[in-house]
């Protein structure tokens, strides 16, 4: 005879929850490896930049510049070694912040963690950029960039310094200033304290998560506008052809979401992935084998990111089907 549970007696035995593939450790492991590889290449780049072989270049003057959308702002020159030193310190702080700054709640998907977003969306953007560029080349659509390649061949050290500085200059103008101002406005309308309002300019995602602020229409509209302008800027300033617009705008979307979801400590390093991650061979040609291995792993991580996003989409669609929106009409 089957036993009927007594509602007033002992609680029912615990039934283990069905394992959710989105909580699988495999995604955490894959993107953690990606993060470690990226940090390793950052360390290699630092070692290469401060190598005695380039000591004669340390005093070379370089301009400090940044953008306010399509408006470039150029400041006085500084020795390249000074600029590199500041960048190395900031990048180091950003990588540490990915692990410690944003609180991880139990049940967070790996893509909702700073290091996970950096690894997953960075390699996804990298993979999509390669695929789209190959398709464009197949149809005869050029992306340009020959002037940049020529500059790299003639001035490898200064060119690499420029590549890893560009994320600061471009993120400031195309993400941090416009999206940061929007975040400050939203924080003020929510009557947050003064410190939270100020921090919304640089780490909006941390403030949003702390106060339960969700993405709104204004966020999506400004993400679209800044990403389109970011793609156009690559053509507007004459370095690239129109084939670059699609990939640059796509990467702009990833960077914008990274900034609004977390802060500058995520979107600037992601931008670095596209500029300086594998380009360290400019200064250190002896690391060809590690670069090939890292390049292969980028594909593994990027494909894993695609699978994860598909699974998230399926799960979200299932939730909507189970809980249809309530309307004002009854049957």
* Inside any domain, residue 14: no
Asked whether residue 106 carries a pLDDT value surpassing 60, the answer given is: no
- pLDDT tens digits, 112-151: 999 999 999 999 999 999 999 999 999 999 888 888 888 8
* Inside any domain, residue 101: yes
HSE toward the beta carbon, residue 107, CA cutoff 13 A: 0
CB–CB of 121/305 below 8 Å?
Answer: yes
Q: Which helix (H) or strand (E) holds 249?
A: helix 243-261
* Inside any domain, residue 320: no
* Inside any domain, residue 326: no
Of all residues in the chain, the percent with pLDDT exceeding 70 is: 87
* Inside any domain, residue 11: no
- pLDDT tens digits, 225-248: 999 999 999 999 888 999 999 999
Domain range for residue 33?
22-315
* Inside any domain, residue 7: no
* Inside any domain, residue 13: no
Neighbours of 12 (CB within 10 A): 9
Domains: count for the chain:
1
pTM of the predicted protein model: 0.88
């Amino acid at each position: 005879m089957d036993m009927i549970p007594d509602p007033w007696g002992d609680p029912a035995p615990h039934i283990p929850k069905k394992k959710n593939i989105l909580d699988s450790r495999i995604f955490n492991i894959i993107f953690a490896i990606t993060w470690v590889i990226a940090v390793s290449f950052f360390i290699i780049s630092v070692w290469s930049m401060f190598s005695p072989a380039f000591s004669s270049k340390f005093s070379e003057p370089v301009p400090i510049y940044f953008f306010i959308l399509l408006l470039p702002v150029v400041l006085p020159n500084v020795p390249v070694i000074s600029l590199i030193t500041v960048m190395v310190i900031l990048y180091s702080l950003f990588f540490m912040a990915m692990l410690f700054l944003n609180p991880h709640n139990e049940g967070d998907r790996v893509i909702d963690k700073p290091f996970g977003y950096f690894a997953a969306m960075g390699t996804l953007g990298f993979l999509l950029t390669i695929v789209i560029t190959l398709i464009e080349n197949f149809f005869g659509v050029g992306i340009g960039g020959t002037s940049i390649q020529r500059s790299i061949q003639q001035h490898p050290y200064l060119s690499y310094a420029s590549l890893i500085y560009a994320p600061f200059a471009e993120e400031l103008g195309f993400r941090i200033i416009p999206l940061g101002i929007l975040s400050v406005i939203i924080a003020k309308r929510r009557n947050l304290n003064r410190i939270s309002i100020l921090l919304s300019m640089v780490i909006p995602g941390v403030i949003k998560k702390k106060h339960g602020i969700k993405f709104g229409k204004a966020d999506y509209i400004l993400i679209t506008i800044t990403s389109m302008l970011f793609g156009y800027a690559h053509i507007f300033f004459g370095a690239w052809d129109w084939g670059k617009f699609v990939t640059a705008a796509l990467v702009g979307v990833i960077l914008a979401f990274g900034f609004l979801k977390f802060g500058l400590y995520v979107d600037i390093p992601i931008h670095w992935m596209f500029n300086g991650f594998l380009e360290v061979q400019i200064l250190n040609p002896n690391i060809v084998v590690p670069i090939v291995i890292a390049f292969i792993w980028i594909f593994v991580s990027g494909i894993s990111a695609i699978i994860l996003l598909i699974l998230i989409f399926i799960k979200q669609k299932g939730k909507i089907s189970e809980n249809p929106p309530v309307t004002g009409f009854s049957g």
